[in-house]
Structure 1
Amino acid sequence: MRDTQPRVVQMVLAPLVFGTGVILLWQALVTGFAIEAFIMPAPFTIGAEFASNLQNVLNGMSVTGRNALVGLLTGAALGILLAIVSALARVFDQMAVPVVGALSVVPIVALAPVLYTMFGAGAETARQLVAALAVFVPVYFNTLKGLRQVRPVHRDLMRSYAVSSWQATRVVTLPTALPFVFTGLRIASSLAVISALIAEYFGGPVGGLGKSITSAAASSNYGLAWAYVLGSIILGLVFFSAAVGVEKLVNRRPG
């Protein structure tokens, strides 16, 4: 019980106190220096806009979240699968690394309009593919690094039992790589939301937080624009927390 109380203070109470202090300081600075809304709206104004437009914010979060989720699952599955193939086949690894490295520097601002042209401006496919690409790269590299952490003595033991490459991967290599896989997934969970959000700026169907932010800012409703930004932050935290929760669930599973 004594150990639990300091942990609760550290993980819950301290961030709440710090966050409240930052918000109050922000409000005081905006009010005291009469900062214009187009530079920085007051947090109380943002909160009021968020509450009064809650349904619209939730609708935008639903669209962006769905695209980010499809991209996250697709990119993560491909990243893990290709990392396993790279770990098993050195030739494939040598061919894949420069390609994946090139994909990691593809700018979303250039890719999104091209994908809208390919799949149509009325489809969500382009946004999902942009999110999948952003997810694929960190998951691939982190998974591949994890797959290479198996100690030589464990590999020798598997060979002594004459197990196949896939059996050794499933029994020894994948469990060893799990911490690295989840590191990639934690990074990718936030990237999926950010990428889907950015892709919404460059066309596609009406809907999503990105479109809502640009529309509100274009009409000089800066408080509402920041309310949608707040919705984006909440959505990103939900994705990140879900990734952390899945990791803890897997780690608690009895071996």
Structure 2
Amino acid sequence: MIARALRLALPPLLLGILSLGLWEIAVKALHIKPFVLPAPSTIWAQFVKHFDNIVKGAVGTGRNALIGVLVGAALAILLAIFASLVRVVADMSAPIVAAASVVPIVALAPVLYTMFGADKQTGRWLVAAVSVYVPVYLNTLKGLRRAQPIHRDLFRANAASGWQVTRHLTLPGALPYVATGIKIGTALAVINALIAEYFGGPVGGLGKSITSSAASSNYPLAWAYVLGAVLLGMFAYLIGAAIERLASPRGAG
């Protein structure tokens, strides 16, 4: 198991180290200005120097993304269950879900700030929730429809209600699909929470810190906050992947 993990992790790790080395050499050899592209060593120095602020910003962004995941996933699962029970609801919700999947966050965030107040985090939560809702809803609905007809007939033969069929048959079978939607949604929630912070709202979060650092021409610090955002996104993806693995039949075993 450990050897297999090392084989999988070693190639991307070596590629990353090689890329950083070439990046460092190119910046030094070509005398690239920091406002164009800082060297990795400069970015790392700023990351270490402002580590506490970066962690604080990551916690703020992570909290907004987490609330968005919880709200968006809960709403998506409930509506997907309802849509699986009532076919007309699924047909009516299809264009709404399609529209939600293409909503430009750069336009949605300012509108939500105007609606709920620029000093509130509500707009950021909703932006993250919208990004989570679509993949969780679609995957949950797909999973709920995977139950075999013979199993449904068996439940109906025992006078099971629609909710009992959902609770004991379709929903347990749909859990791997729900987990896949959550895995996709967690990464999207972090990205969209960052974008929402970047375009306004209360002070706090990595997105706002990137904007402030770039506005003051401190580009190495802005890149350090970007590095913090990358690490936060990777952490969110790993959490989502762990949930998916636990929900899969092999992971459960």
Instruction: Summarize the alignment of residues 4-15 of structure 1 with structure 2, pairs less than 5 Å apart.
Output: 4=1, 6-15=3-12
User: CA offsets, 1:76-132, max 9 Å, x none?
Assistant: 110111011101101111111111211222211111111111111111111001111
1-side partners of 2:234 and 2:177: how far apart? 20
User: 1:195 matched to which residue of 2?
Assistant: 192
| Distance across 2 between alignment mates of 1:179 and 1:157 | 23
Cα separation, partners in 2 of 1:140 and 1:16, compared to 1, 3 Å: same
Q: Is the 8 A contact 2:139 2:177 kept in 1?
A: yes
Does the 8 Å CA contact 2:80/2:141 hold for their aligned counterparts? yes
Q: Does 1:105 align with 2:99?
A: no
Per the alignment, do residues 173 and 46 of structure 1 end up closer, same or farther by CA in structure 2, a change over 3 Å counting? same
Looking at structure 1, the residues matched to 106 and 145 of structure 2 have their Cα atoms a distance apart, in angstroms, of 34
Structure 2: where are the runs of 5+ without partners? none
Corresponding position: 1:29 with 2:29 = no
Structure 2 counterpart SS, 1:59: helix
Counterpart of 2:133? 136
Aligned-residue offset at 1:253: 4.3
Which of 38, 48, 53 in structure 2 is aligned with 1:51? 48
Structure 2 distance, partners of 1:68, 1:5, is 32
Give distance in 1, aligned partners of 2:70 and 2:189: 10
Aligned twin of 1:146: 143
Residue 85 of structure 1 pairs with residue 82 of structure 2: yes
Q: Which residue pairs with 1:163 in the alignment? A: 160
Offset at residue 12 of structure 1 (A): 2.9
Q: TM-score, normalised by structure 1?
A: 0.93
Q: TM-score, normalised by structure 2?
A: 0.94
- Work out the CA distance in 2 between the residues paired with 1:106 and 1:8: 38
Shift of 1:244: 1.7
CA distance in 1, matches of 2:229, 2:81: 33
Q: Which amino acid aligns with 1:176?
A: G
CA distance in 2, matches of 1:15, 1:120: 43
Matched AA of 2:109: A
**d(CA) in 2 for partners of 1:130, 1:36:** 35
1-structure distance, mates of 2:6, 2:252? 28
1: CA distance, partners of 2:135 / 2:237: 14
Q: Which residue is 1:243 aligned to?
A: 240
Shift of the alpha carbon at 1:17? 2.0
Q: How far 1:23 moved relative to its partner?
A: 1.1
Matched, 1:223 2:207: no
Whole-angstrom CA distance in 2 between matches of 1:92 and 1:41: 52
CA distance in 2, matches of 1:43, 1:160: 66
Equivalent residue in structure 2 for 1:233, among 230, 233, 252: 230
Structure 1 unmatched runs, 5+: none
Q: Partner residue of 1:180? A: 177
Secondary structure, counterpart of 1:22 in structure 2: helix
Q: CA separation in 2, counterparts of 1:166 and 1:143?
A: 16
The answer for the alignment partner of 2:91 in structure 1 is 94
Query: What is the deviation of 1:13?
Result: 2.8
Which aligned segments of 4 or more residues in structure 1 are displaced greater than 4 angstroms? 251-254
SS in 2 for 1:15: helix
CA distance, structure 1, for counterparts of residue 229 and residue 171 of structure 2: 33
Higher mean C-alpha displacement, 61-70 vs 37-46: 37-46
CA contact (8 A) 2:109 2:127 kept: yes
The CA deviation at 1:232 is 0.6
